[in-house]
Amino acid sequence: MGKVAGIDSSTTGTTIVVCDSDSGAVLRQGHAPHPLGEGEKPTELDPQAWLLSLGEAATGGVLEGVQAIGISGQQQGLLALDAGGVTVRPALLRGDRRAQVQAADLVEEAGGAAGWTDAVGAVPKAAYPVAKLRWLAQHEPATAKRVAQVLLPHDWLVWQLLGRPARRTTDRGDASGTGYWSAVTGEYRMDLVERALGHRVQVPDVLAPAEPAGQTPEGLLISAGTGDTMAAALGLGLDPGDAVVSLGAGGTVFAVHHEALKDPTGTVSGYADATGHHLPLIQVRNAVRTLRGTADLLGTDLAGLSELALRSTPGSYGLVLLPYLEGERTPDLPHTAGTLTGLRRESMKPEHLARAAFEGMLCGLTDALDVLRDKGVTVRRVFLLGAAAELPAVQAIAPALFGTPVVVPPAAEYAALGAARQAAWSLGAVLGSQSQAEPPRWPQAHARLLEPGEEAAVGKAVRQQYIAVREHTHPGAFAAL
């Protein structure tokens, strides 16, 4: 039995899990928040804070006896370094949305959505490093001229743990979210970097999934690392045919697919994963914010809203809520608003509005699943993530609407677990005990499995009711997707 560690450096802190390399059993854990300096913004941070929180999370011997470490980092952060490897400014984080104009300009300049998906598999948005580079060039030109190298957060942490060697590395999963590396060709598009920044820079080498980045001065093996979405997929043990619906204020829907997906509309971002497969991903702007807004309207909380919804029946007595409260990304309706239809005297009750909110949210997410299905992605089961996945109304309604078995895994640090699993994979490949073709098969955590069962036909009827209202209100919204 060996020990491996997974380190997840998220937007708020560092989490460490130490696992048995054979079984994946969690042996120890540690956590610490990132310290914020005076005047630091939530959109940018001195990366030294990541090392400080890592050190604090590792206190008390958390990493004692570990043979290999994997790193999961927040995706789409940008670290700009000079020729000597010194950061020229604080890291621009994933949540930085200042580059919206720059992202739109880049899309227009390089062939629109179809041109970008053909080039790199995804259309850049404000969070993308390629858009951040353009923002830097326009708003901090003197700083931009000093940039000689660019890294992602997990790349920088790996480089630091290895003692800042001459070689910088990344992995295909995290690289696929930059806007200048193609999951289709497996190559950088340096012309897009130059277009954004105004000059060429050094980029990290992209490692194969099981290929280690190197060893620390103390002899610890460091695996390639990856972005947090890819690490979570690895921690969940996803295989081709598995999809994930993640419930936050907005929703994220992605699936493991056997080939790169190029969507000329830009609705689907064609990311790579950390195993050699691909993660086509769709974002939905309205998920739990729909539930919270309805709960506020009815003077309750999410638990109370769920209880109310279960007093109603499928179809909500004819009430249909199109949950486009903040506009919508899928379908592309950025300036629209939500719509409530079907108001009759008998339907004007709190329980029916509550259920319409759940059905509307889940139908919107099913729309995203159907976009993936229509593009050839197999969806055999759906993993439902997020705190709202525990709501009884979500669990009661989702399987029939999704049309597949739904897995609700227990709460866990899946990004850190995925990083640990990658570390075990790299260690095993180096020692010759593990194939480089696939990661070790760690037993999946006990999860709740929800089947559509006899409610499948009812779910189809609810979907048809929702689609009829959506098409009447926004005709052809999905026609081009």
Q: Torsions phi, psi of 320, nearest 5?
A: -130, 125
Q: Please name which of 292, 326, 319 lies closest in space to residue 306, comparing C-alpha atoms.
A: 292
Please, which residues have CB within 8 angstroms of residue 395's CB and are 6 or more apart in sequence?
384, 389, 406, 408, 448, 450
**Assigned token pair, 363:** 């139908």
**Peptide bond before residue 331 is cis, with ω within 30 degrees of 0:** yes
Catalytic residues, which ones?
Answer: 228
**The pair of three-digit structure tokens given for residue 38, joined into one six-digit string:** 């005076």
Q: How far apart are CA 30 and CA 50, in angstroms?
A: 14
> What count of other Cβ atoms lies within 10 Å of the Cβ of residue 477?
19
CA–CA dist 40, 410 (Å, integer):
34
Residue 398 sits at φ, ψ, to 5 deg, of -60, -45
CA-nearest of 271, 272, 240 to 257 is 240
CA angle 420, 421, 426 (to 5 degrees): 95
Checking phi first, is residue 3 left (phi over 0); if not, alpha (psi -120 to 50) or beta? beta
Structure tokens at 229: 């979405």
Q: Is 316 in a helix, a strand, or coil? A: helix
- Are β-strands 278-284 and 251-255 bridged in parallel, bridged antiparallel, or unpaired? antiparallel
Placement of tokens 């450096």 in the chain: 9
Could you tell me which residues come within 8 angstroms of residue 127 by beta carbon, excluding any fewer than 6 positions away? 76, 94, 95, 96, 97, 99
Backbone dihedral angles phi then psi of residue 20, each to the nearest 5 degrees: -70, 130
